[in-house]
Amino acid sequence: MTMKRPLILALTAVILFFACVFSMGVGAVYIPAGTVLQVLADHLWPGGTLETAKTATDTIVWEIRLPRTLLAVLVGAALASSGGVMQGFFQNPMADPYIMGISAGAALGATVAVTLDLQFWMLGLNAVSIAAFLCGLAVTMVVYAFSRRGGRVASTTLLLTGIAIGAMATSFTSYMLVMGGENQRQLLFWLMGSLSARRWDHVWMLVPYAAVGLAVVLVYARELNVLLLGDEQASQLGVHVERVKLILLTAAACLAAAAVSVSGIIGFVGLLAPHMVRLIVGPDYRILTPMAALAGALLLVLADLVARTAMAPAEMPIGILTTLLGAPFFLYLLHRQRRT
């Protein structure tokens, strides 16, 4: 590798930061980047001048655009790292939470929680995200159990199992939607995938899952590398294969489900970001995972920018955009795999 790893990471983080600032400036009201930075500084530095406080600009940046942008960052990072881990885990380049039906499972969980009006909070986590997590995890385990044959997982079984289970989850969700009455609009949102009208609550809903999930997949990156040699060799190199696999799979499902619980189903991010990054930094998960997270975040911030502005004042669901980008890429991967 020609460039040092920390340098690549730092560079990508800087690009992401500027993309965020730019994105926060663009919208129905244009706000120059300098003003955006001023608002952020006023809020973040306790001794700040608060020149902008209580103005309309302040509200737009701090209450509306910042949480939405942060959410795009977190959702993108969660989906991308989840997809990257699953590609290694299943030793299959087509693995992705959306394609494998995990997002659909998580959406079902969230829908059930909303329909039954579950309002409890547990350890600061609310019912909707817990339900999304549990259903997403259940789907992951079922797909894993079904598609596993020996050490490797064949693409066809993986994809077909994912499609079947995803379709099942989606039909349950649709049923809820039809019967759902007053919650219909809210439920429709999960099926489309969108970041519109997201506020600070949603950010706080996602943060614990994203933080824990990311921490786990980063800590286990070395083991994930060794798992690429196959279960048997990994075990002979001292990796406790079954335990590590369970931990990684749970973390990856947690990341995907948490993203879905706040943003609905946004497809293909977990496929696009890790593959783009792999071309630049190679297969080592110790750099691949953090880079995929940053790239996923960048991808979603930019996609959200387009979704908000392309048809203004109307808004495009962001899931449509990522699918338009991702589906052709998926076909390309499929084509390439068939040749080899």
Binding site for other proteins (CB under 8 A): 91, 219, 222-223, 225-226, 228-230, 232-233, 235-241, 282-284
Residue 206: its H or E element: helix 200-219
Residue (48 or 230) nearer to other proteins, CB: 230
CB 193 within 8 A of CB 317: yes
Residue 38 corresponds to which amino acid?
Q
Strand pairing report for 125-126 and 152-153: unpaired
73 vs 291, beta carbon nearer other proteins: 291
In the complex, minimum distance from the CB of residue 35 to other proteins, in angstroms, rounded to a whole number:
42
Say if residues 217 and 254 touch (Cβ distance below 8 Å): no
Distance of closest approach, residue 89 Cβ to other proteins, in angstroms: 13
Residue 6 vs 46, nearer CB to other proteins: 6
* Opening angle at CA 173, ends 318 and 154, nearest 5: 75
Cβ of residue 70: shortest distance to other proteins, in angstroms?
28
User: CB neighbours (10 Å) of residue 185?
Assistant: 9
Nearer to other proteins, 160 or 218 (CB): 218
CA distance 84 to 92: 10
Q: What values do phi and psi take at 311, rounded to 5?
A: -120, 30
Phi, psi of 28, rounded to the nearest 5 degrees: -55, -40
Closer residue to other proteins, CB minimum distance, 43 or 278: 278
Nearer to other proteins (CB atom), residue 282 or residue 328: 282
Q: How is residue 126 annotated by DSSP?
A: E
Residue 284 CB, nearest distance to other proteins (Å)? 6
CB of residue 33 to other proteins, shortest distance in Å: 37
Rounded Cα distance between 67 and 307, Å, is 16
The token pair at 142 is: 């079922």
- In the complex, what is the shortest distance from the CB of residue 217 to other proteins, in angstroms, rounded to a whole number? 14
* Size of the chain, expressed as the number of residues it contains: 340
Give the C-alpha separation, 105 to 163, whole Å.
Answer: 11
Based on CB atoms, which residue is closest to other proteins, 48 or 151?
151
Residue 240 Cβ vs other proteins, minimum distance, rounded to whole Å = 5
